[in-house]
Structure 1
Amino acid sequence: MAHTATLTHGGFNLSARIESFVERVKENRARAAEYSRTYRELQSLSNRELDDIGVRRCDIADIARDHAYCA
C-alpha cells in the first residue's frame, strides 16, 4: 500500500497555518469516524450475509480502511 505525504505550506502566517492544521484534524477525524462506522456495520452482519456479499470476516478491517482512507 502506497502512502503519499502532502505538505501544504501556509506561508509564515501563523493563523493560516493553524487554520490548515485544524482542517487536517477535522478531515482525519471524519475519516476515522467513517472507518469505525463501516467496520461496525460489516462486523454486525452474520457469516451468511457476509458470504452473500463475498466478504470474509478477516477482511473487514481492510475493507473499512480502504473505504475510509483510499476513497
Structure 2
Amino acid sequence: MAHVINSVAPGFNLIARIGGWIESTKEAWALNNEFKRTFAELDGLDNRELADIGVRRSDIADIARLHVYGH
C-alpha cells in the first residue's frame, strides 16, 4: 500500500486564504458598483422613458440585480 504525504509550507495556506478573500472582496465591490450604476441609470429615466422600454419603476432593483448577478 502506498502512502502520499503532502507537505506545504506552514504559512502558505493562510496567505492563500487571505489572497482569496481579498480577490473575492474586490469582485464583490466591483459587482456592487455595477449594480449601483445600473440602478442609477434606470432610476434616472422618467416614467415615460421607462414605459417606452417596458419597465416599471418598482422593477428597477430586480432588473439591475438580474443584470449584474444573473439571478
The bucket for the TM-score relative to the shorter chain is 0.7 to 0.9
The gaps in structure 2 that reach 5 residues or longer are 1-11
Q: Distance between the aligned counterparts of 1:70 and 1:30, measured in 2?
A: 15
Aligned residues: 60
Map of 2:50 onto structure 1: 50
RMSD: 1.3
Map of 1:21 onto structure 2: 21
User: Deviation at 1:68?
Assistant: 1.2
Q: Percent identity?
A: 58
User: Deviation at 1:13?
Assistant: 1.0
Q: After TM superposition, what 4+ stretches of structure 1 lie above 2 angstroms from structure 2?
A: none
Q: Distance between the aligned counterparts of 2:42 and 2:62, measured in 1?
A: 11
The gaps in structure 1 that reach 5 residues or longer are 1-11
TM-score by length of 2: 0.80
User: Deviation at 1:39?
Assistant: 0.4
Q: Bigger radius of gyration, 1 or 2?
A: 2
User: Deviation at 1:69?
Assistant: 1.0
Map of 1:38 onto structure 2: 38
